[in-house]
Amino acid sequence: MRFSTPSLVGLYGLLSASAFTLVRGESSTTFMNVREDMVKDYKNEDIIPTVKYFTESSFHYHYDGRFADNILPDNEITPHLSALIQTYLTTMDSIGAETWIMHGSLLSWWWNQKLFPWDNDLDMQISEPTIRFLAEYYNMTEHHFDIPGTKDGRNYLLEINPYYVVRSTEDSLNVIDARWIDMSSGLFIDITAVRKDDDKRAKGDKGALMCKDRHHYEENQIFPLRQSYFEDVPVKVPYAYTELLVEEYGSRSLSNKRFQGHKFNEETKIWERAQRNAKRFLRRGWRANDLPTRSAGSEPYIRMDAA
């Protein structure tokens, strides 16, 4: 594993929290306040939805067409994605909603705690009680952040798929349970809920978990979550992250230093373009004044204990 904790002196003073712009719910509500009410037994619905709730744009499947009509220029994609993950993690931490990275985002974290420079697909997971909490109190809420280099900052939308209550994998149209959407560009984070796998548990596998996208896990692969950093902000990662990555992508994903026209530089810990005539490499070292900040209010509590 390649892991380096950046110097964080002065970083968290920039993460001052603002009041949320809420369609419903109260900004003071946190998961820890109401977690006992969020636990309930979900049953597989007899009626599987025939419509897809989240729709992607016609010009690219990683953009929400309600907020954009074209893809961003290449040199703007990674900075937008970095702000996207930073604002999401900061918001979830401030309301106490537990979340962790998975899939390709977890693989990019493994290499250098940064996004892959060629990727525009961000994946996060949450528990079933947490998705209910977000649906109950924070669905369709807008969150404003002051983004360095932008005049008026950006708004981000947390949107919950109402079909999250349908637990069956037969609901193939609605495998994404929620999205965190950059309303300035249409880029988004896919959020999936991890649930008990009732079928496997009935057969004796008491720790079986699943997602509607047909990924299956064991409780001890994900929990207890580990604390780390991703794009220079605190993040949680699954306990058995190496095992999960090898299961999903194969062992070469942790050793192949050439991929998608890029080469991993062992000295700088950066994926660099392999072509000689490529544009100047994007060296995104940590700078405190490059992080998004909420526009007003008090500083959120951010855990500093790295496991």
DSSP line for 232-298: TEEEEE-TTHHHHHHHHH-GGGGT--EETTEEEETTTTEEEE-STTPPPP------GGGS-EESSSP
Q: Are 17 and 297 spatial neighbours (Cβ–Cβ below 8 Å)?
A: yes
pLDDT of residue 297: 43
Question: Strand 216-218 relative to strand 262-265: parallel, antiparallel, unpaired?
Answer: unpaired
Task: With CA atoms as reference, report the closest residue to 74 among 117, 108, 109.
Answer: 117
pLDDT of residue 78: 95
Q: Are 128 and 42 spatial neighbours (Cβ–Cβ below 8 Å)?
A: yes
pLDDT of residue 43: 58
pLDDT of residue 101: 98
In total, the chain counts a number of residues equal to 307
* Contact residues for 296 (Cβ-Cβ < 8 A; gap 6+): 16, 18, 19
- Give domain status of residue 275, yes or no: yes
- Give domain status of residue 177, yes or no: yes
Q: What is the pTM of this model?
A: 0.81
User: Within 10 A of 286 (CB to CB), how many other CB atoms are there?
Assistant: 15
pLDDT of residue 136: 94
Number of domains the chain contains: 1
pLDDT string in tens for the chain (307-residue length)? 443 333 332 232 223 333 333 333 445 677 777 767 776 665 555 689 999 999 999 999 999 999 999 999 999 999 999 999 999 999 999 999 999 999 999 999 999 999 999 998 899 999 999 999 999 999 999 999 999 989 999 999 999 999 999 999 999 999 999 999 999 999 999 999 999 999 999 999 999 999 999 999 999 999 999 999 999 999 999 999 999 999 999 999 999 999 999 999 999 999 999 865 444 433 444 343 455 555 544 333 323 333 3
- Give domain status of residue 11, yes or no: no
- Give domain status of residue 53, yes or no: yes
- Give domain status of residue 9, yes or no: no
Alpha helices by DSSP H, the chain: 31-38, 74-94, 104-112, 128-137, 198-202, 219-222, 241-249
The domain of 261 spans: 18-294
Report the sign of the C-alpha dihedral through residues 210, 215, 218, 222, in that order. Answer: negative
- Give domain status of residue 106, yes or no: yes
Distance CA 211, CA 197 (A): 8
- Give domain status of residue 176, yes or no: yes
Q: Is 130 helix (H, G, I), strand (E, B) or coil?
A: helix
pLDDT of residue 47: 84
- Give domain status of residue 171, yes or no: yes
